[in-house]
Amino acid sequence: MDVFVTILEMIGIVSFAASGALTAMKKHMDLFGVIVLGLVPSIGGGIVRDLILGNTPPLAFSNPAYTIVAVTTSIIIFIPWVRHHLMHKERLFEYSLFFMDSLGLGVFTVMGIWNALEFLPESGSFLLVFVGVMTGVGGGMIRDVLAGDMPYILVKHIYACASIVGAVCCVLLRKIIPLYLAMLIGCILVLTVRLLAAHYHWNLPKADDIE
């Protein structure tokens, strides 16, 4: 289980770091900006999670591996050859950004649930779902604000709803199947909902849709 959790966590960190770095390059930021925007979504959700759970100082500050992996990923994305390859292929760039952001959302949603169970084994379902969703969307919200964008959670492709669906699924399934399987299914469900929402242009009703 420990190996599974570590691998899943690293996948989430790399995914969110890549999404942040890509967002920074889209905004024509310099290397420092790319690193900051890569780092923020990778550790931001975890910090929000730990503050909600009362687990201080947050794990991001006690384990430098998270920061090292996020910064390294951001620098790799910024390498001229990689940057040139992505920036000059708009479709590849947008797909990479969307996929990495969606994968990070799924991973961090279920990792939030796992961390809550580790810290508070008797956590109720509502707390688990809430912490999972906040872990998933928290870092991305901070990234979008720093980038000067409206946070995805408020406007884009069933973003928070996908996290909620995955979190609820994970919390319910953990009662009947091993937790690692419930986490894997929850993560895949978040990613699937995001991909379907993008493909079929699913969105919740918006204020400007009302005449």
- pTM across the whole model: 0.92
According to DSSP, residue 158 is labeled T
So what's the pLDDT on residue 208?
Answer: 64
So what's the pLDDT on residue 2?
Answer: 79
**Spatial contact of 140 and 153, defined as CB atoms under 8 Å apart:** yes
So what's the pLDDT on residue 124?
Answer: 93
Please list the ranges in the chain whose pLDDT falls under 70: 1, 155-157, 207-211
What's the distance, CA 143 to chain centroid? 11
According to DSSP, residue 124 is labeled -
Closest of 80, 79, 104, 94 to residue 22, by C-alpha = 94
Number of residues in the chain: 211
Q: How far apart are CA 143 and CA 15, in angstroms?
A: 13
So what's the pLDDT on residue 25?
Answer: 92
Q: Mark 12-22 as b/e (b = at least 16 C-beta within 10 Å).
A: bbbbbbbbbbb
So what's the pLDDT on residue 157?
Answer: 60
